[in-house]
Structures are given as C-alpha cells and as structure tokens.
Chains A and B, each alone.
Chain A
Amino acid sequence: MTMIDLGMPGLGGLDLVPAAEAPQTAKDFTSDQEVRWCPGCGDYAVLAAVRSFMPTLGIKRENTVFVSGIGCSSRFPYYMDTFGMHSIHGRAPAIATGLAVARPDLSVWVVTGDGDALSIGGNHLIHALRRNINLKILLFNNRIYGLTKGQYSPTSETGKVTKSSPMGSVDHPFNPVSLALGAEATFVGRAIDSDRKGLTAVLAAAAAHRGTALVEIFQDCPIFNDGSFDVLRRPDTAPQRLIPLTHGEPIRFGPKGEDGLGTSVVVRAGFGLAVAEAADVDPADVVVHDVTDVHLAFALSRLSDQDLTHTVTGVFRDVRRTTYDDAVRAQVGEAREAAQRAGGPDLQAVLRGRDTWTVDE
C-alpha cells in the first residue's frame, strides 16, 4: 500500500477564519430568541460563558457556526446570533464534518449532550475525534436524559434510580475523557458549568487548537438530576475532589498548605496514578502535567470516578496532528495544480475518455 505524507501545516484553530473588523461584545452574539431552558439549568451558565468568550476570539461573527443534535443542550444554536443548525439526534459531528471540510474559513462548534454524543451519536463522535477535523465539540454532561424527562444516560452512575430504572440502572457508564483519548483525540478538556474562569480557559485552548477539540462540561439538570455535581461546587467538599491541571506544573490540589499550594498531590502508581498527601511524598515524585503525554492524560482520566471522589479538570491533552479537513483540501489543491500544469482541468476530456469512435452524418 502506498503511503503519502500529508504534511504538517502549522496553523492554529482560527488562522483561516477572517478577523472581525470591530470589537464585538456578548450582546452581538445574543440572538433575539427567548431562552427556554428550565430555571436553574446549568446550560444558562454555559451560554453566558460562551457568549462572553466568543468576542475574545476576534473573528467575524458571520463566520461562526454552531451545530447541535437533539437534547436540551442542543437548543444552544438558537440563542447565539451566528449561523446555526439544530440537526438530528447524534449526527451533529457528521454534519459539522462536511461543513468544516467545505469551509475552511469558518469556526465550527458542535454542541451536544451525554445522550446525543455518547449514546445515539457515539459512532460519529469517535470518528470525528480520530479524523481530527477542525471543529470544537462542547459535550454538556448532566448524566441524565432531560428532554425525554429523566432516564439514565450513558454517563449515569451504575445503580441510578430513574423513571426507566426503578430498581437502579445496571449500565456501566462511559468515562468521556478516557473514551476520547482512546479515540485518538488530539485535544481533550473538562470544565464545570459554574466555573466561568476554568470553562473559559479550556474553551480558549480548544479554539486555538487546530483539530477536533472535545470539551466535557459537567452541567447540572435541576429537574431530573438535581445537585448531581454539588460536591464539586460546595466549598467544604470541592477542594478535596477537584484536581485542576496546568501544563508544566506539578499536579497539586486540595486545601492550601503553608506553601500556598494544595496539600494533596498526584503521584505515579504502577502503570497509573494515585492521589497522595503532599507531606508524605518527595516533591520530585509529584507528577508534572504535560498536555503532550497521552499516557499521562489517560491515567489522569482514570482518576475520575463515578462518585466524583476525584475529578480532574482543565486540558488533559493538546497535541498537533494534521487535520482531516486540511489534508482533504490539500489533496484537492494538489489535484487542481496538477491539472493546471497539464493545461486543464478538462471536463470534456474526462467525458470523452480514452476510447471513442465517431459516427458520421
């Protein structure tokens, strides 16, 4: 089999998107549609964060597209004054793939949920990740089916009692970050809806990444899974459980110690990682985060348990790999150049083919 080197274009995620002529505000990105999520829904916080974040990218609003599937979060595009498509269940990554391939001048965002992305659309998600198309996937994970009124989802904890699992769910859940890394994702991040700062930082890194970026956003469903992430928000429990990542920094978390750093740390344990008390380990043994180390990223993803004992946030992985859409366009460009050199492209010659005969009058 012939292998062809597709090259490594050194572009950033937005380098082919035209820049806005004037500064924009969150208001510019706000459509005239009334937002119709339930009161207290975590989607409001994410929407507010994204509306404020988009103007900071400095790209033309009309070159921004939000594509969604089906579910509560998938109403998102209606509330952004950009181009948008509210498509069908699970298919947004496939539709966005065609759009991103056809239009390198667009910033394409997919908004999806745990059911949309991981259940009905699981196939499209993993293939978008492995292909590495220049699109950003915001996966709103509330660990429940909201729009169909409360059934367990592929991220619900085992044993969860819902309308469709009165004796407790027997399904084992996905770990979305592990799944994405297994699917060859070049960018994986996680944030919590209520953490505007942390969410915005991950979004910024995702936008700058050229390729498919998966951002898992823990988001509360106050109607069917109320308080599901409260232990990650409450001041008395959150510091013990949240493990924020910063590239190049030792991974420390928990209540601050005398040195101003977290008193808990992440250390290596066999092929994986473990949590330890800073006081009990040599500082040299504390793992330093590296977004280019896929083994570390995977091990970090395994620290996050169903019961949220430990929850890693931030950017797990951010590496450069030729994107599918760039490679596809490069081949089209190459074919065009070759045809130009040969004096073409000549459609008439293609239709004629090699063997013709003429019938005279």
Chain B
Amino acid sequence: MTSTDTTSPDTTTPAGSASDGTRRPTVVRRDRVVIRFAGDSGDGMQLTGDRFTSETASFGNDLSTLPNFPAEIRAPAGTLPGVSSFQVHFADFDILTPGDRPDVLVAMNPAALRANIGDLPRGGIVIVNTDEFTPRNLTKVGYAADPLEDDSLADFQVHRIAMATLTRGALESTGLPKRDAERAKNMFALGLLSWMYSRPQEGTERFLREKFAKRPELAEANILAFRAGHAYGETTEAFAVVYEVAKAKLPAGTYRQITGNTALAYGIVAAPHVTGLEVLLGTYPITPATDILHEVSRHKAFGVTTVQAEDEIAGVGAALGASFGGALGVTTTSGPGIALKAETIGLAVALELPLLVIDVQRGGPSTGLPTKTEQADLLQALHGRNGESPVPVIAPQTPGDCFAAVLDAVRIAVTYRTPVILLSDGALANGSEPWQVPDVAQLPTVDPAFATEPNAPDGSGAFWPYLRDPETLARPWAVPGTAGLEHRIGGLEKADGSGSISYDPANHERMVHLRAAKIAGIEVPDLEVDDPTGDAGLLVLGWGSTYGPIGAAARRVRARGLPVATAHLRHLNPFPANLGEVLARYRAVLVPEMNLGQLASLLRSRYLVDVQSHTKVSGQPFKAEELQDVFLTHLPGAQR
C-alpha cells in the first residue's frame, strides 16, 4: 500500500464557458476530501451528513464518517453545547479514518463556527450561513465582534451565504410558512456541497420523496431547497472551482454503506440462519446501543423476537431464559448496562448457556459521555463479575466488521455454551463505511447440537447436565420438552458431571479450573502482523475501533520510509495463542487505547513485556496525525 491519508497534489482543468452559456468552473481532482457539516442540534446536520455520505457511497468512493452530537436531544438553540456535527471523509483509495481535519467546514450558525474552526487547516474552506450571525447569536457564544466582518477568518477561504434567506426565496411558490421554509436550509447546504463535489443527486431526491411520503408538500419543499443550493453553486461567481474525487479501487464485489450499529443488528438477524436457532433480543434502550434494537425489531420474519424489558437486568434475564429454552439469547447495551447485567452474566457463566452480550462502549464512569466514544469497558467485560467468572471477549475493528464479529461471537457462544461479550464503541456504532455485502450462502454455520439422550456414564439412564465434551469442555445443552433429560441447574456450585449441588472443596476447585480451561481453550485464529518491510522494531498493537487511525498513522510513517509493524486484536479473551511470541519478536511494543491503558496492563501482567501505553480519553477517536507523531517518538528506541 503506497497511499497515505494525506492529500496528493491537485490536478486541475481550467475554467471556461460551456456552449450553452452556463459558467463552467475549474475542475480540481482530489484524491481525498474531508467535509464537516456543523450546526445546531435542530438544524438536521446528521441527516445532511448522512445524505451526503449516501451520495458519496453510491458514487463509489471509499468513505468513513464521524457523527458527533450532544447527549441532549435539543440543547438550548444557538449555544456551543447544542452544536451537532457530521464529518465525512471520502477518497479514491481505501481510507481508514473519518479524517483528522476537515478541508471544508459548513457552519450553520456562530456556535458551529466557533466550536469547529479550530480543527480547520490554514486555507480550508468555510461555508457560513450568515442569516444566523445576529448580534444576539454572536454574544451567546462569546464572539465580541462578528468574525465574518473582522479578519479573524483571514487564513481561510470563506463563503458567506444567506442560506435561510435564499431557501425562503426558493420556496416562496410553495406557500409554506416562513419558519417551515427556513427549516429546509440544510438541504440547501447539501445541494451546494453536492454541486461542489460533483455528487449524484437522484438518491437524495428519491430519499426525500420517501421520507416525506405522507407530507408531499414537505418533500417538494426540501427538494426545491436542495436544487436551489445546487443551482446557487452553478450560477453564482462565488465558487470558482468544483472538485472531483474519482471512484475508489476497492476489491471487486457489491458494496453498500453501513454503520456499526446496523452491522451488529444484521449479525443478530443473521444468527438464526447460521445456527438454526430462534433469537430473542432482550434489551433496554441506552445510548449509543439503541439503534440495534430499532433495526432488529424490523426483521421479525427471520426468527428474531425483541423484548423491550423493564430494565437492563430484565433484558439480559429474558435473553438467558430464552437460551435455557433452546433459543439464542442476545442483549445489547452500553457500559452502565453491563454493570447492571453483571450478575446475570455470572449466572450464565455458571449455567454454561449460550448468551451474546453486546456492549457499545461510551465515555464513563457512570453516565459519563453518552454520545461519545471510549474503550474503557475492557476490564469490566473481562473481570466485572464476582468470583472466577471467565467470559470470552471479542471486538470488531470497523463499522462493517461488526457483522462478522457478531457471527464469531455466536459461534463461540453456541459451541462452548458460554456468554460472550462483544465490545463495540460509539465511534463504530454511528460511524459508517462501505461494506462488501457478504454472500449469505457463504456465512459460516454452527450446529447447536442439542442433547437428545441420557448420558450418565454409569449407564443408569440419567442425564448429567455437566458431563463435558472432552474436546471443547462444553456441557450438553438439553432443552425443556426433551423427555428423559429433565434436570435442574442454577447459580450454586455443581458437582462435576452430575450437576447436583455440591459444596465439596475439591469439586469447587475442579469446577473453577474447568470453567477457566474451557474459555482458555476456545479456538481463535492467530494474530496476524502487518510488517511490510519485515524489519520493523516497533509493533503497534490495538483493539477495536482504533484499527482505522492506527493503520492510517502507520501508512504515514511508512511513507517516510520508516518501518513500523501493526497488529490488531479481535479476541481479547482468550488471546490468540501466538500473541506472546509476537510481542517478544519486537524491540518495542506500543498500545494506543481510548482508556488509561487497560490492554497494555493486561499484556504486561500476562506476558511480562514492557508494553508502552498511549492513551486518549477525550470522547473522540484518535487522529491519524497524532498517532503518527506518537509512533515517530517511539521509533528511535525501537531501532536500537
């Protein structure tokens, strides 16, 4: 891979006039562009970003997105806490992150400008909705003077556009009240950006018609605003250039755009297909996991039942009850919910029943930062229960990868009769990327292999619920309704084999070790290392959503001719068998994490390797640029 996430020199086609007399601006080819739409929570920035992303996906660019919004549904209008933004990075090559710094900032009000301008590089493009730059709104966010009037934006190319006024004008014929007409200004902005970046428009018009199918007058108004924005770019002299970003050369296949939460939901919906089991999703709404429930509940036809329980505990309880009944129980939550579910997950460890627990991590502790990302639930997932309570933990690395991660978790849960925790996070949940649609016929299947016969080794015809498979150490899964296999299980310690209650000291010692050995023995693939030159001294090891920024930073470092190796852990418990050997192979190991060094600490204690930790807990993902700098500071030591 020779591309980096840094921009290549532009190639341009000069301006001119078309034969029909319309102005033809200069066309600039770019290999990548980062756009950030920012406005008030009520301005529809998430929808605007989402539509631009869909246009970009259907055009065939590679892309990655980063929505960023407040936890409040409608924070006070025009304030800094109320700013909502959506960043999209698209390119003609495969990119790994939503981009560090936007090339273009669309600011719908002073608050959006103030909150985001610091991220823009010199020379960046700022498109401002001037209608909101009133003295009152400026004061609200602490601007003493109007930044559009003084020279504070001198470093940028600023486009001042009265978007609300222009939208209102374009919608005059519709007879919509002024306020309603102005609400379509986000579509004006979308139309303008679609023109600037040569995006296809049909998808958005179709989308608006469907979204407002019951209010056709609103559909028309939004489409008019969208077209007005497009026409504004085309006809005014303000914009001298349009940009083109060619299609990306991705591996052959059919692609769609997908968010992490949608991919998790699809994994759950596909679980009956790969296991033959019905699925019961027992859950309680919590940011940023709730969209999984929304999506799954739309697909009942595939044998998935959703139970919106009275609380987090009941959600996982219903899931575990369904698993006892021979379905696959699934629960979805975020960190606070994992805390509440801990006792039930411990029960599932003791019962040795399949259970899938999905944690979409957010900033903590406690309620923390509900809409921001963090990876600080790793130790909670691994150890957050009473007693020796081993649970397999796996983590997807990109939004699209969430689908495969669910199926991997399902394989482990069903094969080994165990709860499995899947750690996604806020960045994966709402971020999106192109996803190569998998062939359903090729999805890996897993056999639940229910017990059907008594199994007592003494030939008594009794059923022993804790007689283990010698290979996997999994116990038999005998479901109610199977004559002759009636049995009782519970949270009390059970006698090895027969499953009767046992307080025998030696038996408890044996059972604790058996449960640990079962999880430690789960088959997971070896860790693959990306070390293109083969002579790197520094290994950067990550897990979860840091995959993108770590990879992008490694590309930048390699582009300077410096060697760096990267590897990414999907399985946090058990670790891949070759992990110790991989760690020992490098002179230096660096672990970037969005916590205070949880994986690093595990690796140090487990492998006695002097792992270096780099951490970030700002609620925002790593940027490629910052990680590049961190890698560079670690390289000299690694070369010695």
**Contacting pair B486 A98 (CB below 8 A):** no
Partner of A127, one of B54, B266, B314: B314
What residues of B have a CB within 8 angstroms of the CB of A84 in the complex?
A: 487-490
A95 located at the interface, meaning its Cβ lies under 8 Å from any Cβ of chain B in the complex: yes
Partner of B256, one of A70, A99, A347, A353: A353
**Contacting pair B490 A351 (CB below 8 A):** no
Nearest to B265 among chain A residues (CB) is A350
Nearest to A353 among chain B residues (CB) is B256
**Contacting pair A101 B280 (CB below 8 A):** yes
**Contacting pair B310 A127 (CB below 8 A):** yes
What residues of A have a CB within 8 angstroms of the CB of B481 in the complex?
A: 18, 60, 62-63, 103, 105-106
Distance in Å: Cβ of A89 to nearest Cβ of chain B: 8
A77–B492 alpha-carbon span in the complex (Å): 13
What residues of A have a CB within 8 angstroms of the CB of B592 in the complex?
A: none
What residues of B have a CB within 8 angstroms of the CB of A60 in the complex?
A: 481, 483
**Contacting pair B251 A102 (CB below 8 A):** no
**Contacting pair B322 A62 (CB below 8 A):** no
Nearest to A31 among chain B residues (CB) is B488
Distance in Å: Cβ of A183 to nearest Cβ of chain B: 11
**Contacting pair A86 B488 (CB below 8 A):** yes
**Contacting pair B313 A91 (CB below 8 A):** yes
Partner of B321, one of A67, A77, A339, A353: A67
B630 located at the interface, meaning its Cβ lies under 8 Å from any Cβ of chain A in the complex: no
**Contacting pair B321 A86 (CB below 8 A):** no
A97–B283 alpha-carbon span in the complex (Å): 13
Contacts known (A83-B487, A357-B255); A351 close to B440, Cβ less than 8 A: yes
B552 located at the interface, meaning its Cβ lies under 8 Å from any Cβ of chain A in the complex: no
**Contacting pair B300 A357 (CB below 8 A):** no
**Contacting pair A344 B320 (CB below 8 A):** no
**Contacting pair B252 A94 (CB below 8 A):** no
B500 located at the interface, meaning its Cβ lies under 8 Å from any Cβ of chain A in the complex: yes
**Contacting pair B480 A359 (CB below 8 A):** no
What residues of A have a CB within 8 angstroms of the CB of B391 in the complex?
A: none
B530 located at the interface, meaning its Cβ lies under 8 Å from any Cβ of chain A in the complex: no
With most chain A CB atoms within 10 A of its CB, the pick from B54, B254, B258 is B254
- How many residues in B have their beta carbons less than 8 Å from beta carbons of A? 73
Contacts known (A95-B317, A95-B318, A359-B251); A102 close to B490, Cβ less than 8 A: no
Partner of B485, one of A18, A62, A86, A329: A62
Contacts known (A62-B480, A98-B280, A355-B57); A348 close to B440, Cβ less than 8 A: yes
What residues of A have a CB within 8 angstroms of the CB of B300 in the complex?
A: 331-332, 335-336
With most chain B CB atoms within 10 A of its CB, the pick from A98, A355, A356, A360 is A98
Nearest to B263 among chain A residues (CB) is A351
Partner of B253, one of A31, A77, A96, A358: A358
A91–B278 alpha-carbon span in the complex (Å): 23
A338 located at the interface, meaning its Cβ lies under 8 Å from any Cβ of chain B in the complex: yes
What residues of A have a CB within 8 angstroms of the CB of B327 in the complex?
A: 102-103
Nearest to B258 among chain A residues (CB) is A353
Interface residues of A (CB under 8 A from B): 18, 31, 33, 60-65, 67-68, 70, 77-78, 80-88, 91, 94-103, 105-106, 123-124, 127, 328-329, 331-332, 335-336, 338-339, 344-345, 347-348, 350-353, 355-361
**Contacting pair B301 A98 (CB below 8 A):** no
B159 located at the interface, meaning its Cβ lies under 8 Å from any Cβ of chain A in the complex: no
When A and B form their complex, which 4 residue pairs have the shortest distance between CB atoms, in order from nearest?
A: A86-B490, A98-B321, A94-B317, A98-B318
B343 located at the interface, meaning its Cβ lies under 8 Å from any Cβ of chain A in the complex: yes
Distance in Å: Cβ of B497 to nearest Cβ of chain A: 15
Nearest to B482 among chain A residues (CB) is A62
Distance in Å: Cβ of B74 to nearest Cβ of chain A: 21
**Contacting pair A82 B486 (CB below 8 A):** yes
Contacts known (A86-B489, A339-B301, A359-B253); A33 close to B500, Cβ less than 8 A: yes
Contacts known (A85-B351, A97-B307, A355-B57); A361 close to B252, Cβ less than 8 A: yes
What residues of B have a CB within 8 angstroms of the CB of A356 in the complex?
A: 254-256, 437
Contacts known (A91-B317, A97-B317); A355 close to B257, Cβ less than 8 A: yes
A356–B439 alpha-carbon span in the complex (Å): 14
Distance in Å: Cβ of B217 to nearest Cβ of chain A: 22
For the complex, would chain B's binding face be called helix, strand, loop or mixed by DSSP majority? mixed
**Contacting pair A85 B256 (CB below 8 A):** no
B133 located at the interface, meaning its Cβ lies under 8 Å from any Cβ of chain A in the complex: no
**Contacting pair B438 A351 (CB below 8 A):** yes
A98–B487 alpha-carbon span in the complex (Å): 19
What residues of B have a CB within 8 angstroms of the CB of A87 in the complex?
A: 317, 347, 490-491
Nearest to A86 among chain B residues (CB) is B490
Contacts known (A94-B309, A97-B314, A124-B310); A355 close to B321, Cβ less than 8 A: no
Partner of A95, one of B269, B302, B321, B480: B321
Distance in Å: Cβ of A148 to nearest Cβ of chain B: 16
What residues of A have a CB within 8 angstroms of the CB of B319 in the complex?
A: 98
Nearest to A74 among chain B residues (CB) is B490
Distance in Å: Cβ of B350 to nearest Cβ of chain A: 9
Contacts known (A83-B487, A85-B489); A78 close to B501, Cβ less than 8 A: yes
With most chain B CB atoms within 10 A of its CB, the pick from A64, A91, A339 is A91
20 CB < 8 A contacts A-B:
A61-B486, A84-B490, A85-B351, A85-B489, A91-B343, A94-B317, A94-B318, A95-B317, A97-B321, A103-B327, A103-B480, A106-B325, A124-B314, A127-B314, A344-B301, A345-B302, A348-B439, A350-B269, A358-B254, A360-B252
Distance in Å: Cβ of B438 to nearest Cβ of chain A: 7
Nearest to A130 among chain B residues (CB) is B310
B324 located at the interface, meaning its Cβ lies under 8 Å from any Cβ of chain A in the complex: yes
A102–B480 alpha-carbon span in the complex (Å): 11
**Contacting pair B486 A102 (CB below 8 A):** no
**Contacting pair B314 A94 (CB below 8 A):** yes
B326 located at the interface, meaning its Cβ lies under 8 Å from any Cβ of chain A in the complex: yes
**Contacting pair A328 B256 (CB below 8 A):** no
Partner of A65, one of B252, B343, B480: B480
Distance in Å: Cβ of B331 to nearest Cβ of chain A: 10
What residues of B have a CB within 8 angstroms of the CB of A348 in the complex?
A: 437, 439-440
B58 located at the interface, meaning its Cβ lies under 8 Å from any Cβ of chain A in the complex: yes
A284–B278 alpha-carbon span in the complex (Å): 56
**Contacting pair B324 A88 (CB below 8 A):** no
B132 located at the interface, meaning its Cβ lies under 8 Å from any Cβ of chain A in the complex: no
Could you list 17 further interchain pairs (A-B, Cβ under 8 angstroms) beyond the known A60-B481, A62-B483, A88-B346?
Answer: A61-B483, A61-B486, A77-B488, A84-B487, A86-B488, A95-B317, A97-B307, A98-B320, A99-B321, A99-B480, A331-B300, A335-B299, A344-B301, A351-B440, A356-B255, A357-B255, A359-B247
Distance in Å: Cβ of A198 to nearest Cβ of chain B: 28
**Contacting pair A103 B325 (CB below 8 A):** yes
B window 239-284: CB within 8 A of A: 247-258, 266, 269-270, 273, 278, 280, 282
B60 located at the interface, meaning its Cβ lies under 8 Å from any Cβ of chain A in the complex: yes
Question: What 1/0 mask marks residues of chain B from 342 to 358 whose CB sits below 8 Å from any chain A CB?
Answer: 01101100010000000
Nearest to A61 among chain B residues (CB) is B486
A335–B346 alpha-carbon span in the complex (Å): 34
Question: What 1/0 mask marks residues of chain B from 33 to 62 whose CB sits below 8 Å from any chain A CB?
Answer: 000000000000000000000100111100
**Contacting pair B314 A123 (CB below 8 A):** yes
**Contacting pair B311 A123 (CB below 8 A):** yes
**Contacting pair A102 B326 (CB below 8 A):** yes
What residues of B have a CB within 8 angstroms of the CB of A18 in the complex?
A: 481
A113–B625 alpha-carbon span in the complex (Å): 60
B203 located at the interface, meaning its Cβ lies under 8 Å from any Cβ of chain A in the complex: yes
**Contacting pair A83 B317 (CB below 8 A):** no
**Contacting pair A98 B307 (CB below 8 A):** yes
Distance in Å: Cβ of A145 to nearest Cβ of chain B: 18
Partner of A359, one of B255, B307, B483: B255
Nearest to A107 among chain B residues (CB) is B480
Partner of B250, one of A61, A65, A339, A359: A359
